[in-house]
Amino acid sequence: MSATLYCSLVTAPSYRFAVYGTKGSVELATPELEFRFTPVTEPPPTGRHRASPPEIIEYEGFNGLAAELEGFAAAVKGERSYPITAEEILHGVAAFEAIVRSAALGQPVKVSQCP
């Protein structure tokens, strides 16, 4: 499995999270968190592969930022646990730092272990 994580605020705001696997790919690429799954196609006997139509699941009316802030506020008030553990947050920071190191070095780097 491989994945990409892209975010740009320098140009028009744009972000994309995609995961590629042996049975297809999935991506989140819109602020509305439209979930798109594109299955792998069977290779044709000859000629080019044709892309399968994606399965799209929309979450109309969902506001990701509001949901995150509500989850954070509930955790601060002790109403429920935050949906992401401290270890997962630290791992995300370590992964981002590895991306920056990889870009600076021009080669893959390992994600450091969190304490």
Q: In this model, does residue 103 exceed pLDDT 70?
A: yes
What is the total count of domains within the chain? Answer: 1
pLDDT 10s digits, 2-32: 666 666 667 766 677 888 888 888 888 776 6
Domain span including residue 52: 2-63
Residue 38 lies in a domain: yes
Model confidence, pTM: 0.50
Residue 17 lies in a domain: yes
Query: And the tokens for 66?
Result: 């509001």
pLDDT 10s digits, 30-45: 766 778 888 887 766 6
Residue 27 lies in a domain: yes
Question: Mean per-residue pLDDT for 87-106?
Answer: 88
Residue 18 lies in a domain: yes
